[in-house]
Structure 1
Amino acid sequence: MQFEVNAHSADKPAGRIRQQNEKLIISAAEQEFSCHGFKGTSMQRVADRAGLPKANIHYYFSNKLGLYYAVLANIIDLWDSTFNELSAEDDPAIVLPRYIAAKIEFSRQYPLASRIFAMEILSGGPHLSKFFKQDYRSWFKQRAAVFEHWIAAGKMKAVDPAHLIFLLWGSTQHYADFAVQIEAALGEESLGQEVYDTATRTLTDIILRGCGIAVD
């Protein structure tokens, strides 16, 4: 589902420079929001980190809330774009490993955005109220219905679709949200590609076997 962003007027021409600047600003905002939270972050701090005049930040994002929405929308759209690809006609033995791998990769590439989303949820989701009201329950039921169809078709064992989805979300996002804990446990200064690859293989094996899906 789509998370609408109040970034700025939509009638400005989109070009390569605009896209580069927006990417730079959002990256700087992710670092600021992850370190200082929504209240502790200012547009000036984002501008300083991005190396741009504050006026440039306001050109692309009218206010701090719009910029915060853009950061949240970036990760939500990535997560949802992958999840929306699941369909009743698919073979879960093929698409679930693909989905798990994609979510782990998002955790590797966008850990700050994932942590900001987690912090927002932990604080009660005050800035996500519109997102959760935008037919969110209907969207979730449609995703769960895909798993119900697979169960009815005998493609997987009868597990609760909602809690399976929660497991998929939580287990894959864990590698972004709790990276510091994982690094400490493994004695690593930072998580390397091998850790993410091992996580992908392990989660895929456990989840597919738990769903009664044959694993090669």
Structure 2
Amino acid sequence: MRVQDEKNSNSLKNRRPNGGSRAKARRETEETILTAAETVFAEAGFGGATMQLIADLAGLPKANLHYYFDTKEALYRRVVERIFNIWLEAADVFDGAAGPTEGIGAYIDAKMEISRHHPNGSKVWASEVMHGAPVIQDYLETTLRDWTEGRCAVIRRWISEGKMAQTDPHHLMYMLWATTQHYADFSHQIDTLNGGDPLSDAQWEAAKTSVKTIVLRGIGVL
């Protein structure tokens, strides 16, 4: 009897999803929700977006959304944090770069690729800031400010080492953001000027090269 009980118990364990499978399923569902939320928030804004619209686009019951995110604001903040964290990873090249040619050049490449592959996240961020950051003002005053000062410190060091021309680090960062994120925030305009078609792989590479050349020449490293 005991042997049979053990067999039944082992059989039941085999049928149950293990912890890794459950965690993977949870991550995949969360990613589906966040991707759908990015699209809805980018198109409708925070005010026009609803949890039902997001659930419909994600192909999930609305109750599932509330299981992962209690409120629309919590989901919105997560969308904003996600694009910002992606940008943060792109800025890691600053810290280990030998100088501005490598650091700023690689940063431009990374930011352009983010604009290409995560345009909706960028649009959500832009819309939020243009409306006075009613939901994420605290984020701007803490995380963004600290991150910006860290990058500006690196730029000041490169200037003091004679590796680039005297430049206001803040305005350089603003210009880098504006230029690279333009390709996401105004993608429709770019597509229209490109004959109605999205940029091809070759055009993206040409765009990255052009932006890097213009910026690096401007700071005196080319």
Q: Which runs of 4 or more aligned residues in structure 1 lie more than 4 Å from their structure 2 counterparts after TM superposition?
A: none
Instruction: Give 1:6's aligned residue.
Output: none
Cα deviation, residue 91, structure 1: 1.8
Unaligned 5+ runs, structure 1: 1-11
Instruction: Give 1:76's aligned residue.
Output: 84
Cα deviation, residue 135, structure 1: 5.5
Is 1:101 aligned to 2:109, yes or no?
yes
Greater alpha carbon shift after TM alignment, 65-74 vs 79-88: 79-88
Is 1:203 aligned to 2:218, yes or no?
no
For residues 172 and 87 of structure 1, do their structure 2 counterparts lie closer, same or farther at Cα, with a shift above 3 Å needed?
A: same
- Give RMSD over aligned pairs: 1.8
Cα deviation, residue 132, structure 1: 1.7
Is 1:87 aligned to 2:95, yes or no?
yes
Instruction: Give 1:40's aligned residue.
Output: 48
**1:60-71 to 2 correspondence within 5 Å?**
60-71=68-79
Write the distance in 2 (CA, Å) between the matches of 1:126 and 1:197.
Answer: 36
For residues 206 and 73 of structure 1, do their structure 2 counterparts lie closer, same or farther at Cα, with a shift above 3 Å needed?
A: same
Q: Calculate percent identity across the aligned residue pairs.
A: 38
TM-score by length of 1: 0.88
Greater fraction of residues in helix? 2
Is 1:188 aligned to 2:199, yes or no?
no
How many pairs were matched up? 203
Instruction: Give 1:31's aligned residue.
Output: 39
Kept in 1: contact 2:159–2:165 (CA 8 A) = yes
Instruction: Give 1:8's aligned residue.
Output: none
Instruction: Give 1:131's aligned residue.
Output: 139
Write the distance in 1 (CA, Å) between the matches of 2:51 and 2:81.
Answer: 18
- Structure having greater relative contact order (Cα 8 Å, sep ≥ 6): 1
Q: Which has the larger radius of gyration?
A: 2
TM-score by length of 2: 0.86
Unaligned 5+ runs, structure 2: 1-18
Greater alpha carbon shift after TM alignment, 130-139 vs 148-157: 130-139
Write the distance in 1 (CA, Å) between the matches of 2:199 and 2:144.
Answer: 33
Amino acid at match of 2:154: V
Kept in 2: contact 1:88–1:150 (CA 8 A) = no
Write the distance in 2 (CA, Å) between the matches of 1:88 and 1:193.
Answer: 28
Secondary structure of 1:87's aligned partner:
helix
